[in-house]
Amino acid sequence: MRSLAILALALGVTAGVSSPCAAQSEMAGSQPHSVSVAKQAAPERLAPPQADVAVAAPTPAAPPAPHPAAAPVTVPVQVYATIPQPMTHPMTTTPIELQAAPEPQAAFASAEKLLDWVTNYRKHPNSSRVPAAVHAMLDFGLFGDEDKEWFCIGFIAGVLGTNPKDGPGLIPRMFPMPDKEQAVIIRAIAYSGRPDWRDLLERNSARMPLRRPLIDDFLQGKRPTLMELPLVDGGSSGIYALWGYYVATGQHEPVVRIMQALQWSRRKDDNSFSFKKIFTGWGHDPSAVEKITTGGTAKWTLASYAERDRELLELYRAEVPRQPEAIATPLKDVIAAAEAFESETVRKDQFGAIEDAQKAQMTNEAGMTKGATAGSIAIATGCVAATALGQPEIAIPCVIGGALYTGAVKLAH
């Protein structure tokens, strides 16, 4: 009996030792190959105490606890895989955030907003938007009216003339432009005052094949530049272009050029204002009405601008002793009117002078037809861009109106 008891005890020990090992092997086989925790969980006891044998024999060993570092193993992989990389432009490898933001070329919503931007351009110059402004001028019909067109020409010319580096790059962006209105760009380049204006005209001539004759006239010196434009021939249009250049640049040269037309305006101390001083009969001075219109336009615009731009008064005062009496005297009238904010008085006075000139012209039978034609030209160029669009703050008032021409023609017939 003793021998049988010893044999049974030996068999029990063997079964107790083999069962935990088998369980551990099965659990280890179910774990990922990259984790070897099962082999470190509980070292195998080759000779367990006798008291533990009966308890350990029927119950498999509990699954080993995961290693503390095992859980976060896959977390960093997910984080690094989703880190956003810097976006790049499809045509370059340079990150977008390192590139300069392009200048917005937003369209101008209305003619009023366009003119407001033009008026304030000198305070906040942004030449990159000028091509968009040029297209807006076309869209709003500014190039279809002579007054507005010439003011725009002067403004564009001023921008090109004061941007020596960026100016050439602005011109191609002003296209496409209808053939007729391409004259605006041609004149703006020629009037810019740039030393390379001839080269710019030639370089852009391929975009304007139908305007080659006008381009050649400027290149060959057959047409004057802005500062050389005779105000007698250019009339009010030349004055509008000069004001446009001033609005864009703030330069004094175009303003001093406008002063030269004061010699044809009515003077405050000359109540008689005999038109015999200007012409004796229509045949002797066919440009008499144009001269008076140009002189009146110059006087009123000089006063109106100075009401809003007080720095101009300093220029006027400095020019009085430098100018001949024919210009200095009416210039003093301009200064007095601007100081008192009475440019409207100047407007009425010059309007009356133009009306008197028209009446005097119509009394000459030989000049009636010519007078009506000249009057039409003079009055058609009587209002500048901003005022015609209801923007008096731009300070370029209308010297004469269409009603005057209508009345003059009726009187002639």
Q: Is the pLDDT of residue 367 over 80?
A: no
Q: What is the pLDDT of residue 133?
A: 97
Q: Is the pLDDT of residue 218 over 70?
A: yes
Is 136 strand, coil or helix?
Answer: helix
| Range list of H helices, 250-367 | 253-259, 288-308, 311-319, 325-339, 343-362
* Single-letter residue type at 24: Q
Q: Is the pLDDT of residue 298 over 90?
A: yes
Q: Which is more confidently placed, 397 or 261? A: 261
Q: What is the mean pLDDT of residues 106-111?
A: 81
pLDDT digits (tens, 9 = 90+) for 169-213: 999 999 999 999 999 999 999 999 999 999 999 999 999 999 999
SS (H, E, C) 147-206: HHHHHHHHHHHHHHHCCCCCHHHHCHHHCCCCCCCHHHHHHHHHHCCCCCHHHHHHHCHH
Q: What is the mean pLDDT of residues 276-284?
A: 46
109-113, 199-203, 213-217, 269-273: the lowest-pLDDT one: 269-273
Could you give the percent of the chain with pLDDT greater than 70? 56
Q: Which is more confidently placed, 296 or 50? A: 296
pLDDT digits (tens, 9 = 90+) for 42-91: 444 444 444 444 444 444 555 555 555 444 445 444 443 333 343 443 33
CB distance 410 to 359 below 8 Å: no
Residue 180 tokens, joined? 């007729």
Phi, psi of 88 (to 5 degrees): -125, 155
Phi, psi of 235 (to 5 degrees): 60, -150
Q: What is the mean pLDDT of residues 282-310?
A: 84
Query: Closest by alpha carbon to 400, among 241, 235, 269?
Result: 235
Q: What is the pLDDT of residue 62?
A: 52
Q: What is the mean pLDDT of residues 242-246?
A: 96
pLDDT digits (tens, 9 = 90+) for 368-407: 444 444 443 333 333 433 343 444 443 333 333 332 332 2
- In order of 30, 69, 359, 412, the CA distances from 365 in angstroms are 121, 114, 12, 9
CB distance 378 to 286 below 8 Å: no
Q: What is the pLDDT of residue 404?
A: 30
Q: Is the pLDDT of residue 285 over 80?
A: no
Q: What is the pLDDT of residue 286?
A: 61
CB distance 187 to 153 below 8 Å: yes
CB neighbours of 215 closer than 8 A, spacing ≥ 6? 186, 201, 202, 205, 208
**In the 8-state DSSP scheme, what is residue 66?**
P
Q: What is the pLDDT of residue 388?
A: 38
88-97, 111-120, 176-185: the lowest-pLDDT one: 88-97
Task: Tell whether the torsion through CA atoms of 118, 124, 125 and 129 is positive or negative.
Answer: negative
Look over the chain and give the mean of its residue pLDDT values, rounded to a whole number: 72
Instruction: Tell me the β-bridge partners of 95.
Output: 88
Q: How many CA atoms lie within 13 A of 162 on its CB side?
A: 20
Q: What is the pLDDT of residue 271?
A: 54
Query: Closest by alpha carbon to 381, among 234, 248, 229?
Result: 234
Q: What is the mean pLDDT of residues 133-141?
A: 96
Q: Is it true that the peptide bond before 324 is cis, omega within 30 degrees of 0? A: no
> Could you tell me how many residues make up the chain?
413
* Single-letter residue type at 243: W
Q: Tell me which residue has tokens 């000359």.
A: 270
- In order of 7, 259, 296, 342, the CA distances from 246 in angstroms are 122, 13, 19, 22
pLDDT digits (tens, 9 = 90+) for 2-40: 554 444 444 554 444 444 444 344 444 444 444 444 444
